[in-house]
Chain A
Amino acid sequence: MTTAMQRPPLVRSGDRMIAGVCSGLADHLGWPVKYIRLGMVLASFAGGAGVVFYAWLWVMVPTADESARRNSRRPASPIAPAVSMPPSVGMPPDVAAPDAGAQPLPLYAPAPVVASWFKLKRIQYGKEILLGAGLLLVAAILIARQFGVEVPLGTLIPAAAILGGAAIAWMQLDETRRAGLVDKTKADQAGGWVRLAAGLTLVVAGVLVMVSGSGSWEQTWLALLASIAVLGGVALVLLPWGLKFWKDLETERAARVRETERAEIAAHLHDSVLQTLALIQRRAGSEQDVVRLARAQERELRTWLYRDAAKDSGLLAERIAAAAAEVEDAHGHPVDVVSVGDAAMTDRHEALVLAAREAMHNAARHGGGAVSVYLESSDSGSEVFVRDRGPGFDPDAVPEDRLGVKESIIGRMKRHGGTAVIDSSSEGTEVRLKLPVENADKAENRNGDAKA
């Protein structure tokens, strides 16, 4: 299996005669192309097998482009590992047969450790190998019959039914476990139950035919009734134990989940809150430091507690909040952010964030009291208001060489089609930044449902 992993993925190559199948296969197997092509042509004379094989690969194997577009986590083609074992007709059946018997066993591994190891190593290939082995077996039987060897079909078919049914049921088991790991909703289980039922039916039918041997209906019915009675009795006796066992298992699992959660919370609190409290005790003399530490910790804890998992980062509101946090840390001055609506980030919004950050820096540096930041995004554009309670200043009296206000706020907003107004009085200063939406931006605006 590991050798298959190290091989280049099976894709149809661009260097093609017909569809790139042969050269792709050659790359994948590391054989010269001409032998593959020759083999394919020769196989075509053997009852057209080569043509069929070629067509099958053509349909099933993606081109290099398609493969690149896929998730790189998976092998290039789900069937690639199966075809990496050339299904040459000459393969002796005694090699294929034990394979088919041995393969389901690892699938059944119940311990989680084994399961996770198994998932890593083999999960992508289990089914394909099983399928391939089964097909090989069928092919071998057919060939053997052609050569006149007497094959006891009467035993082989029920055996195959049992094996196939068991495989189907076990695959189902494995898949529910995987689904349970991925998300707990366990959606799409109906199909799973159908498969389980199909598997069971196959196995039961196989066993019955095998046991009754003759295949006469009367005997089969009797056997069926007897086995149902026995199974029912056993189930009745074992049911209480089974239920108890299941309950214990559920309790234990819930406890483990709680324990994991608790450990995560403890780890987080240790890294953040406890560290900050220790720092605060050591810095108790400096009020400014204590306030700054407490404020930063509060912000961090709040984000952790109330973070909105549905909200993806990189949106305007998040960026403004991040800028406010940065200013708060830099100046040890509280900056309160209130945001209404949100917008996707563009280059222009980037400019808005930078201008707002500059305004917040100024407010924290020169203003007194808390700095209030208000962001409103709607279909018509985004507005940011930064307000402080400082003594105020005259924007026209700011010297030309001071670039903070002129360049970073007003100039930047103008260059990106927005406006910046500074309203300063003795009771405080408010910087109003406005970025009207561009027509092209309209689609990206996220505030639709708040307005509808």
Chain B
Amino acid sequence: MNALSEQVERSVRVVIVDDHAIFRSGLKADLDSRIDVVGEAGTVEQAIAVIAEVQPEVVLLDVHLPGGLGGGGREVISGSSALRGSTSFLALSVSDAAEDVVAVIRAGARGYVTKTISGPEISDAVIRVADGDAVFSPRLAGFVLDAFGTSPAEIADDELDRLSSRELEVMRLIARGYSYKEVARELFISIKTVETHVSAVLRKLQLSSRHELTKWAAERRLL
């Protein structure tokens, strides 16, 4: 993680969206100097308005939000689709239920962390998302392995529906609690390569219409 913090000199502009003011102020205090909080919001409508106004690089987004049509964080992401490409979303929640996690990722979030995460960890996660990478918690990696299955893809044309053996290895190590750096060392690859694999997995998770994924989601009432 050191390499990351050294390479980023600028500060990342962030909007925090959470309906608990106490949590927002606590999170603001936790984030380190690399991060500049430029806006806050407590409801779906406020969030969409604030994000459109300040156009942040990263939005820290609670999954469960009041207001709107009841869609919570998902609704904020779809309501901010005009900014897709310039603004990234990092989902943040106390819930680690599969339906919440996968729903918000499929809506377009670049990563998912739980609210018990420490200050430095979440700062790193924000930087990572701002750089266009994906942030996977062990639990999210577990969900991915559960949804895609643990055997590698054999044929090329179901590329979207299966993880390659390298991606599987990366996901497994993340699920085991390894950081990106440790994954890179374990697999003798660079951190950048790990990030590429994770981003590829995120894309598959968002785009795949794989039968098993649908079935998996349906079983957990995600659809």
Q: What distance in Å separates the Cβ of B202 from its nearest Cβ neighbour in chain A?
A: 17
**Is B149's CB under 8 angstroms from A338's CB?**
no
- Report the stretch among A149-157, A401-409, A444-452 that lies at the interface: A444-452
**Is B212's CB under 8 angstroms from A452's CB?**
yes
- Contacts A387-B177, A430-B176; A374 near B149 (Cβ below 8 A): no
Residues of B within 8 A of A451 (CB): 149-151
In chain A between 403 and 452, which residues have their CB closer than 8 angstroms to a CB of chain B? Answer: 427, 430, 447, 449-452
B139 at the interface (CB under 8 A from A): yes
Q: What distance in Å separates the Cβ of B39 from its nearest Cβ neighbour in chain A?
A: 29
Q: What distance in Å separates the Cβ of A85 from its nearest Cβ neighbour in chain B?
A: 51
A372 at the interface (CB under 8 A from B): yes
Contact of A340 among B142, B177, B215, B219 (CB under 8 A): B142
**Is B212's CB under 8 angstroms from A338's CB?**
no
How distant is the Cα of A306 from the Cα of B100 in the complex, in angstroms?
11
**Is B142's CB under 8 angstroms from A339's CB?**
yes
**Is B177's CB under 8 angstroms from A372's CB?**
yes
**Is A372's CB under 8 angstroms from B138's CB?**
yes
* Nearest 8 A/B pairs, CB to CB: A372-B177, A338-B142, A374-B176, A340-B145, A385-B176, A306-B97, A387-B177, A374-B175
- Contacts A450-B150, A450-B212; A387 near B176 (Cβ below 8 A): yes
A27 at the interface (CB under 8 A from B): no
Residues of A within 8 A of B97 (CB): 305-306
A174 at the interface (CB under 8 A from B): no
**Is A450's CB under 8 angstroms from B146's CB?**
yes
Residues of A within 8 A of B138 (CB): 336, 338, 372, 374
Most chain A CB inside 10 Å of its own CB: which residue of B96, B150, B177, B219 = B177
Beyond A340-B142, A378-B150, A387-B177, list 4 extra A-B contacts (CB 8 Å).
A339-B142, A372-B176, A449-B212, A452-B149
Residues of B with Cβ closer than 8 Å to A?
95-97, 138-139, 141-142, 145-147, 149-151, 172, 175-178, 182, 212, 215-216, 219
Contact of B146 among A336, A340, A372, A387 (CB under 8 A): A340
Can you list 22 residue pairs at the A/B interface with Cβ under 8 Å? Answer: A302-B96, A306-B97, A336-B138, A338-B139, A338-B142, A339-B142, A340-B146, A341-B150, A372-B176, A372-B177, A374-B138, A374-B175, A374-B177, A376-B175, A378-B151, A385-B176, A427-B182, A447-B150, A449-B215, A451-B150, A451-B151, A452-B149
A79 at the interface (CB under 8 A from B): no
Tell me the nearest residue of chain A to B98, going by C-beta. Answer: A306
Residues of B within 8 A of A306 (CB): 95, 97
Q: What distance in Å separates the Cβ of A294 from its nearest Cβ neighbour in chain B?
A: 10
Residues of A with Cβ closer than 8 Å to B?
302, 305-306, 310, 336, 338-341, 370, 372, 374, 376, 378, 385, 387, 427, 430, 447, 449-452
Q: What distance in Å separates the Cβ of B19 from its nearest Cβ neighbour in chain A?
A: 18
How distant is the Cα of A372 from the Cα of B138 in the complex, in angstroms?
8
Most chain B CB inside 10 Å of its own CB: which residue of A306, A336, A374, A451 = A374
Tell me the nearest residue of chain A to B95, going by C-beta. Answer: A306
Q: What distance in Å separates the Cβ of A237 from its nearest Cβ neighbour in chain B?
A: 43
How distant is the Cα of A432 from the Cα of B142 in the complex, in angstroms?
17
How distant is the Cα of A389 from the Cα of B178 in the complex, in angstroms?
10
How distant is the Cα of A341 from the Cα of B216 in the complex, in angstroms?
12
Residues of A within 8 A of B96 (CB): 302
Contact of A338 among B141, B151, B182, B215 (CB under 8 A): B141
Most chain A CB inside 10 Å of its own CB: which residue of B95, B141, B150 = B150
Most chain A CB inside 10 Å of its own CB: which residue of B96, B138, B212, B219 = B138
Residues of A within 8 A of B95 (CB): 306
Residues of A within 8 A of B175 (CB): 338, 340, 374, 376
How distant is the Cα of A385 from the Cα of B174 in the complex, in angstroms?
12
Residues of B within 8 A of A340 (CB): 142, 145-146, 150, 175
**Is A450's CB under 8 angstroms from B149's CB?**
yes
**Is B212's CB under 8 angstroms from A374's CB?**
no
Residues of B within 8 A of A447 (CB): 150
**Is A341's CB under 8 angstroms from B177's CB?**
no
**Is A376's CB under 8 angstroms from B215's CB?**
no
How distant is the Cα of A378 from the Cα of B149 in the complex, in angstroms?
9
Residues of A within 8 A of B219 (CB): 310
Residues of B within 8 A of A310 (CB): 219
Residues of B within 8 A of A338 (CB): 138-139, 141-142, 175
How distant is the Cα of A402 from the Cα of B141 in the complex, in angstroms?
36
How distant is the Cα of A306 from the Cα of B95 in the complex, in angstroms?
9
Most chain B CB inside 10 Å of its own CB: which residue of A310, A376, A447 = A376
Most chain B CB inside 10 Å of its own CB: which residue of A338, A339, A427 = A338
Q: What distance in Å separates the Cβ of A227 from its nearest Cβ neighbour in chain B?
A: 51
Residues of A within 8 A of B139 (CB): 336, 338
How distant is the Cα of A2 from the Cα of B153 in the complex, in angstroms?
67
Q: What distance in Å separates the Cβ of B210 from its nearest Cβ neighbour in chain A?
A: 11
How distant is the Cα of A357 from the Cα of B151 in the complex, in angstroms?
27
Residues of B within 8 A of A302 (CB): 96
**Is B150's CB under 8 angstroms from A336's CB?**
no
How distant is the Cα of A287 from the Cα of B106 in the complex, in angstroms?
38
